[in-house]
Amino acid sequence: MAHGRAEGRPGPVCGEAYGMSRFAATSGVSQVTLRNASRMDPRSQGRRPNRRCYRQGDSEERKAIRDVTAAQQTIHVGGEWRSALSGATREIIDPVDATAFAVVAEGGVRDTDDAVAAARAAFDDGSWPRTPVAERAALLRRVADLLERDRERIGALESQDAGKTLEEGRVDVDCVRDAFRYFADLVEKEDGGRAVDAGSDDIRSVVVHEPVGVCALITPWNYPLLQASWKIAPALAAGNTFVIKPSEITPLTTVVLVELLLEAGLPLGAANIVTGPGHTVGARLAEHPDVDLVSFTGGLVSGTKVARAAADSVKKVALELGGKNPNVVFADACSTPEGFDTAVDQALNAAFIHSGQVCSAGSRLIVEESLRERFVAELARRAGQIRLGRGTDEGVECGPLVSAAQLARTEEYVASALGEGAVLRAGGERPAGPGYFYRPTVLDRCHRRMRVIREEIFGPVLTVETFRTEEEAVALANDTEYGLAGAVWTSDAARARRVAARLRHGTVWINDFHPYLPQAEWGGFGKSGIGRELGPTGLAEYREAKHIYQNLAPRPVRWFAGTTAKGQA
């Protein structure tokens, strides 16, 4: 999935402000919408027709809020919820039983242009970029409170839309809440710039940070709500406006999140959403001359297309493109029954959470040769006992893959691995019944020339490689074009530090797998992408640095000769 400026036009802050009449002449956005988008009222709320937005605690009245699964007006442009201009719609499929349970608008290029125009007007002429930092932080905290209020509703919707368990959906909502609170705290603690010593008391020099402008945010289908928050929260904290394009497969919770932003009081036009496919909406956002930054999370192929499209307008680009993540287990980590049990349990979590549809999934188990047989036998036994089903059902541990295409892709990779000599130890088939389920699969005796080792699968498939020495373990772990995340398991503290230092991955866990912190940067080396999300660097992605140099005692330089030059009358 994935991630301007008109040729010759200055930046949005210090260049000319594009007025509303220009936008109205070149897009389908109405004058009313543009006036709303540039309204200097931070309390403005976008409303759907016949829909009220309610404040926290208004529980009885909130019963009137429309169910997003019954909606076809899922495009929000400058304060108006609407259908696609073409009238096109898309059915959203429940991956548990392959039936449609929602219909959304299928936006296109014209819808995208309108959304960018609204975001441009809101940035150039609206209130949000000029809203004081404390007020921006307060709004982000209100969004976090609304997420906490609606945790069950949104968690259940995320479960149905993406096929994950209800508990995973709840955890996602909690993580989204934490991201909004983190960026609120981060931006509020700033001191207004970095003083630069110019070597003279007559010079005042400071570096300040300003919002980039209009941000195009393109998010993936596996963690639609979480990935949206990793982009929206810092973008808004920095004072930007945005257009977000969620995956066409799992757009529903992103629509809800935009509703919550409006309910929290975000000015109209600051947040816009276009539901639609990547090849039209995503591609247009990436190339659009009035977009200043594109942040894309998704696959490598789509990410490279985004980068090429963005290059013509030289806009900022941030790409998170997945990984092929090693989980290195040394025998000394399993020298006790408790250590063995923990390492096996964590290997299961690393590979099979959300059916392996995780960019940081530990899909490559690299285990010391002396431990391999015992470790893999127990791993396969437990993998065979993982309970599949609808995520909201009691006792279910793993849901389906997100789509028929993803199921077919997983089957093809497993068949390829078996054809290349891998040994099937668990899974390797669909269970009987409807839906896009695939049994958690363990493939033993794998080697680095196999496609299943080198390419990202995004399915419940764990490959097993072995090593004899620390040097060999590091070489195997780094033998990938990606570099998102990896882990090392050992009871030897010195070895843990050595291996962690040598792994070429953006996140390295020692004796753990999968946890992340909103305070710590997330991103990868190599083909895992460019830029970082979360942490202070995640906020910096949505800003431009500006150096302001002030001479407090200006005087002539006398560089060029003239009538006032020294020695002349």
Which residues carry out catalysis? 320
Alpha carbon distances (Å) from 419 to 192, 342, 405, 439, 447: 60, 32, 21, 19, 13
CA distance 540 to 543: 5
What φ, ψ does residue 154 adopt, rounded to 5°? -70, -40
Q: Which residues contact 99 (CB under 8 A, 6 or more apart)?
A: 93
Q: Which residues contact 138 (CB under 8 A, 6 or more apart)?
A: 184
Q: Give one DSSP letter per residue of 533-560, joined into a string.
A: BSHHHHHHTTEEEEEEEEESS------S
What DSSP character marks residue 387? P
What DSSP character marks residue 354? G
- Under a CB-based contact definition with an 8 Å cutoff, are residues 12 and 215 in contact? no
Q: Which residues contact 433 (CB under 8 A, 6 or more apart)?
A: none
CA distance 351 to 426: 13
Give the CA-trace dihedral at 117, 48, 62, 122, to 10 degrees.
Answer: 20
Count of alpha carbons within 13 angstroms of residue 339, beta-carbon side: 14
Residue 392 DSSP SS3: coil
Residue 63 DSSP SS3: helix
Amino acid at 352: F
Residue 340 DSSP SS3: helix
Closest CA to 220 of 309, 314, 319: 319
Closest CA to 13 of 236, 265, 292, 287: 292
Core vs surface per residue 489-516: b (16+ CB within 10 A) or e: bbeeeebbeebbebbbbbbbbeeebbeb
Handedness of CA 524, 515, 137, 54 (dihedral sign): positive
- Under a CB-based contact definition with an 8 Å cutoff, are residues 545 and 207 in contact? yes
Residue 82: other Cβ atoms inside 10 A: 18
CA distance 19 to 463: 57
Closest CA to 351 of 322, 377, 325, 332: 325
Rg (the chain; Cα; Å): 26
Residue 12 DSSP SS3: coil
- Under a CB-based contact definition with an 8 Å cutoff, are residues 174 and 151 in contact? yes
